[in-house]
Amino acid sequence: MKDVQPLRVDDGLSDSSIQHIQQFLERVPLDSATSCLEAAISAATPMDAVLMSHVAEHFAKLPHCLNELMSKSEAETRCAQRWYKIAIHVLKVNDLHNDAESMWRRAKALKHSDGRALIGWPSPSQSPTIWVSDLPSRPFWNCSLWPFMKALEDSAQLILEEVARMDSEFLTAYPYLKTAGVWQDFFLYRGHRWNATLCELMPRTCHLLLPELPTRPGTPYVTVYNEEVVIFRSKPGAAVGAHCGSSNAVINLHLTLKGGRGTSISVDGIKADLHDGTAICFQDSYFHAVNHGLDGEEERISLVLRVMHPGLSLDLLSGVGRTDDVRDLEAWDRSASLLQEVERLRAEYRRLAASVKKKEALSSESCQT
């Protein structure tokens, strides 16, 4: 690895700011400094965003952080890449785009001894925690690549009726992101697991979704959260600052159930208005933001599926050795994974059949009385 140059005044910092950073790093234990910095970044303003970004860059340049760029695969969370992502994020969310590009260029300047970039980000528009090479990138995707989205669009009203009973389940969404107003969520599927309790309360919604995830059986997840099902709620005045996801191996399938008027999503600077009963599909690795205008509907509800990139495959990952979710890809058994999925679907079918039988029995008893 080529030597990493220390920060200089021409990086955009004054001598006094550099001294403050050095004193902070020298006096505060690493774990405490990390927690402190992450909290400060979540509340950063344009006045202190540049300083916060350079503190994050200093963390990225710590020896143990830099070493992970060599010791871990590109499909794993690597300390230096994560901190550079955080540095770029705090600049982007505060509209400091030139500074964000400079930070991206410094991240890209980290090289193998043969001159290859250690971090694969193609532009400042995409700086996810994990970058998997050779996956096609574009801000928006054709939702027809996921045929089940048409069934979900057709069932939007049915899903909304079940969501209406879930008011107490909503919690503040991603509090570490820069937000304004009310933005809340709850998860039906996360970390390979369906929330059985919530699915009992939303049975028709879960019956629509259970057969569809995982979307690429026989393909290992890059991260434990490679696929998720989440319900979002926002109210007028809500604004979610620009942010990018955990990896470029995730596509967001965003179905607006109600309240789309006056709310928009911007992906890589391209604005898309939301419409009730209509899905928008976009790549999670691009910086994206949400705005629920003050003149928008009283409440916006969306069903979002985060799914594996359609180009992700075991063959594509075969050269990386391991991912955040699978520690040894060579030992990972595709046949066993597929068999497990078959057994899961059988179990769900049996559960559904038992539920139908129970309802029929109750209906029969009701008729007899």
What b/e readout covers 256-267, taking b as 16+ CB neighbours within 10 angstroms?
bbbbbebbbbbb
List the chain domain ranges: 9-108, 140-321, 333-369
Mean pLDDT of the region 231-253: 96
209-221 pLDDT, tens digit each: 999 999 999 999 9
pLDDT, greater one: 358 or 182: 182
Both tokens of 272, joined, read 């898309």
265-320 pLDDT, tens digit each: 999 999 999 999 999 999 999 999 999 999 999 999 999 999 999 999 999 998 89
Eight-class DSSP state of 9: G
- Banded pLDDT at 366 (limits 50, 70, 90): low
With both helix axes pointing from N to C terminus, report the angle between 63-71 and 79-93 in degrees, rounded to the nearest 10: 110
Query: Which CATH number does 140-321 carry?
Result: 2.60.120.330
What b/e readout covers 188-211, taking b as 16+ CB neighbours within 10 angstroms?
bbbeeebbeebbeebeebbebbbe
pLDDT at 25: 65
| 29 CB-near residues (< 8 Å, 6+ apart) | none
- Banded pLDDT at 1 (limits 50, 70, 90): very low
Which has the closest alpha carbon to 155: 262, 7, 257, 275? 257
Across the chain, mean pLDDT equals 90
pLDDT at 52: 87
66-116 pLDDT, tens digit each: 999 999 999 999 999 999 999 999 999 999 999 999 999 999 999 998 999
- Banded pLDDT at 262 (limits 50, 70, 90): very high
Mean pLDDT of the region 228-248: 96
Strand-pairing partners, residue 305, are 229, 253
- Banded pLDDT at 2 (limits 50, 70, 90): very low
Q: What is the distance between the alpha carbons of residues 56 and 7, in angstroms, rounded to a whole number?
A: 12
4-63 pLDDT, tens digit each: 445 554 455 667 766 766 676 666 666 666 777 777 777 778 888 888 898 899 889 999
Q: What is the distance between the alpha carbons of residues 273 and 68, in angstroms, rounded to a whole number?
A: 40
pLDDT at 176: 76
The Cβ of residue 322 has, within 10 Å, a number of other Cβ atoms equal to 18
Both tokens of 187, joined, read 């998860």
Both tokens of 197, joined, read 């309790």
Q: What is the distance between the alpha carbons of residues 245 and 286, in angstroms, rounded to a whole number?
A: 7
